[in-house]
Amino acid sequence: MIRKFFRGLFKGLDGLRKVLHLLVLLLIFGFVIGGLSGSIPKLPDDAALVIRPEGEIVEQPSGDPFELALAEARGSGSGETTLRDLVDAITAARDDERIKTLVIDFDGMSGAGQPTLDEFARAVTRFRTSGKKVLATGLGFSRDTYYVAAHADEIYLDPQGLVVIEGYERFRNYYKSALDKLGVDVNVFRVGTYKSAVEPYIRDDMSPADREASQAFVNSLWDSYVAAVAKARGLKPEELRAYAETVAERVRDAKGNTAKVALEAKLVTALKTPLQIEERVIALSSKDEEKETYRSVGLKDYLRVVRAEDKIAKHPDTRVAVVVGSGEIVDGGSGGGIISGDATAELIRKARLDDDIKALVLRIDSPGGSVTASEQIYRELLAFKSTKRPVVVSMGDLAASGGYYISAPADEIWASPATITGSIGIFGLFPTAPRTFEKLGIGVDGVGTTPLSGELRIDRPVGPAAAMLLQSTIEHGYEEFLGKVVAGRKKTRDEVDAIAQGRVWSGRDALRLGLVDKLGSFDEAVASAAKRAGLKDGKYERDYLEPDKSFAQQLLSNLQIKAAVLMLRAFDAESLGGFALGGVAGIDAPTRAALAAARRDFGPIERSVLRFNRHALGNQLYAHCFCTPY
């Protein structure tokens, strides 16, 4: 009896110890997080909002959050800026009395698709309606950066700078000869005359059908670029075309003075050094006497301020949900830069089960991917529609193949004139390498029990029964795809088939063909969804749905990221024996430049190999479009 008493006592004390231990740990974590998290910055009055877009402008950040934080701590940055951050900041600043002018420095921006650039430019144009000035600055402007810069009030180019508008092109690497040398046969099963996604593995050049379709949509992109930029800059379209086509001759005649050529073509307002630009911004805002420059706030700090203020403000309970799908569509999966079938379907389901959500907007920027994952998302969209609430799709740079598959059930589809869409088709790949085995002197022989036995082995050619089975499956998948478009677009099967066949279309052509309903911005798509739901302006909240993180995941993520940032910032070149963390440790600038060039040149090959690895899986169908123009 006594023994049982003490056993119970000790068990109770042990339980109490565990609870107290947990409480202490939580208290410690709370102090650590509090110490690591920075305070909300103070926003100066009469300031300039300075935006320096970094790398590519994307719908969603890609990569692991921890690695992105490390890159930021090293000073190398993440290489991406989200479109939402840019638009939110510029929109808030338009009516913010503390912000007197907007300065956009384009030197760190690498580019984006034209629809993304158009969303950025629209935000700039709306800002100008406030009467505040927008200044665009840069050592040089490329095709993509100039698209946005053209919408500013004033464009200042460095006297040593240049403006290069190179137009659009579509070139790809082709691997048939390389695969032949390796003894690898790529067995392709597809439907669609224009379904060119598999061509890099079975050809050494572009097919006539792909050439026809590609030329059509790059011409369409170039036409829309010229029209938008010329209008924004007050030029005639033919003047902009002439500059792009004759810039080499003009620079030669100007003895290499590229900045002078851009100024004479009226592409820029003036040639100014950074110090002269600083003086101009001071005149438009105010001077920081302590720092001898203009008062300013950067993008990240400004967003922290306005988003914190927004959380405090009261908002209506009625909401329009926004689900962003950016990247390739994959089965399962999670993380940035992809559309996970599981995660995206779960977000749509979450919206369906929330009675305060009155409409759903699906923002798509995707070349497609897995048919299985696309079907998973498609079914969840149908379930949402069954609740009699509207679904509206807003297409970004790409909504092709699987990207169009998941758009098909929408009540309304919006696109940009330069959106790449369509590519309605299905394919499958099955690589075999019997010739490789022969070269190695390895024989293959045996017996089986059915016509399919041994026909899907990597060391034997695909047999006739397996080929018949796979091609029939692909054809069925194509008919299923057509059926979904027929149901969503209210067309006949033959009408859809005539504009499908894997062919890619620009948004403008897609409108003409009935693949999309309207051309316009993301904001217009959201407004249309609200109108369909019977909501009035100002009576609803825009709610971006993102995958939930557990308390433990958030706690661990915050601790890891913030601790890593502080640790890396605490060490300098001297404490690390001369190995600086500002770039790649121990590597000089020329070598870093060479590595960057290698990543740029071999990046497309690496991406093709990774895609081939994903697509060469058994029992998988793909609706994918390798249709990104550059």
Query: What would the two tokens of residue 321 be?
Result: 């949900």
* Residue keyed to tokens 């805002």: 285
Q: Which active-site residues does the annotation give?
A: 195, 401
Question: Does position 57 have pLDDT exceeding 90, yes or no?
Answer: yes
Domains 47-170+202-308 and 316-544 share a fold: yes
Q: State CA 95 to chain mean position distance.
A: 28
Lowest mean pLDDT among 15-19, 288-292, 447-451, 578-582: 578-582
* DSSP letter (8 states) at residue 535: P
Percent of the chain with pLDDT over 70: 78
Q: Look up the CATH architecture of domain 47-170+202-308.
A: Alpha-Beta Complex (3.90)
Q: What is the pLDDT of residue 278?
A: 96
Q: What is the pLDDT of residue 265?
A: 98
* Tens of pLDDT, residues 283-327: 999 988 888 899 999 999 999 999 999 988 888 889 999 999 999
Q: What is the pLDDT of residue 629?
A: 62
Is residue 396 within 8 A of residue 116, CB to CB? The reply is yes
Better-scored residue on pLDDT, 68 or 491: 491
Average pLDDT rounded to a whole number, residues 387-414: 97
Across the chain, mean pLDDT equals 85
Lowest mean pLDDT among 131-135, 205-209, 556-560: 556-560
Determine the CATH number of domain 316-544. 3.90.226.10
End-to-end Cα, the chain, rounded Å: 83
Is residue 277 within 8 A of residue 139, CB to CB? The reply is no
Backbone angles phi, psi at 418, to 5 degrees: -100, 5
Q: What is the pLDDT of residue 42?
A: 83
Backbone angles phi, psi at 217, to 5 degrees: -80, -25
Better-scored residue on pLDDT, 557 or 87: 87
Query: What would the two tokens of residue 276 be?
Result: 């002269």
Query: What would the two tokens of residue 17 be?
Result: 């110890």
CA distances from residue 586 to 565, 576, 580, 589, 592 in whole angstroms, order as listed: 20, 10, 7, 10, 10
Each domain of the chain, given as residue ranges in start order, spans: 1-37, 47-170+202-308, 316-544
Please name which of 265, 232, 277, 235 lies closest in space to residue 136, comparing C-alpha atoms.
277
Residue 78 sits at the vertex; the CA angle it makes with 578 and 557, to the nearest 5 degrees, is: 95
Question: Does position 591 have pLDDT exceeding 50, yes or no?
Answer: no
